[in-house]
Structure 1
Amino acid sequence: MPAKSKSQQQAAGAALSAKEGEKKVSSLKGASKSMYDSMSKKELKEMASTSQSDKPKHVHKKKDS
């Protein structure tokens, strides 16, 4: 699953670094912590490797009307 925004791609990269032991898990916050807990290393690698070109900085959730 490719990242939908630059922020999501960066969070996946941080979570992947923790999964690979390059970063302390305790340093993760927010989305990266959630991704670390819920995604496999393979999923994180796929999301983190997504190109950032043509991606918005953030994708906001749509509110239900």
Structure 2
Amino acid sequence: MPATSQAQQKAAGAALAAKRGEIKKSELKGASREMYESMSEEQLEEFAETKRKGLPGKKS
């Protein structure tokens, strides 16, 4: 399932970076922390690879 907003795509990217050890989990806030704890690396990859062009800034 692709991301439905640019904010969701960015949060998934941050959570994915933490899962891979590129950033510390303590640096995550809000939605990215929730995504880190509740989603697998494969799910995060799917959200993070979504193209931002044409997506709204925030999900309404």
Q: Same fold (TM over 0.5)?
A: yes
- What is the letter of the counterpart of residue 51 of structure 1? K
For residues 4-62 of structure 1, give each alpha carbon's deviation from its aligned partner in whole angstroms, at most 9, with x where no partner exists.
Answer: 000000000000000000000000000000000000000000100000011000012xx
* TM-score for the superposition, normalised by structure 1: 0.91
Instruction: Establish whether residue 6 from structure 1 lines up as the match of residue 34 from structure 2.
Output: no
Q: What residue is the counterpart of 1:48 in the other structure? A: 48
**Tell me, which stretches of 5 or more residues in structure 2 are unaligned?**
none
Q: Which runs of 4+ in 1 moved over 3 A?
A: none
Higher CA-based Rg: 1
The number of aligned residues is 60
What amino acid does structure 2 have at the position aligned with 1:12?
A: A
Tell me, in whole angstroms, the C-alpha distance in 2 between the residues paired with 1:29 and 1:53: 24
SS of equivalent residue, structure 1 residue 4: coil
More helix per residue: 1 or 2?
2
Instruction: State how 1:1-65 maps to structure 2 within 5 Å.
Output: 1-60=1-60
Distance 1:56 1:32 in 2: 18
Q: Tell me the amino acid that sits aligned with residue 7 of structure 1.
A: A
| Long gaps (5+) in structure 1 | 61-65
TM-score by length of 2: 0.98
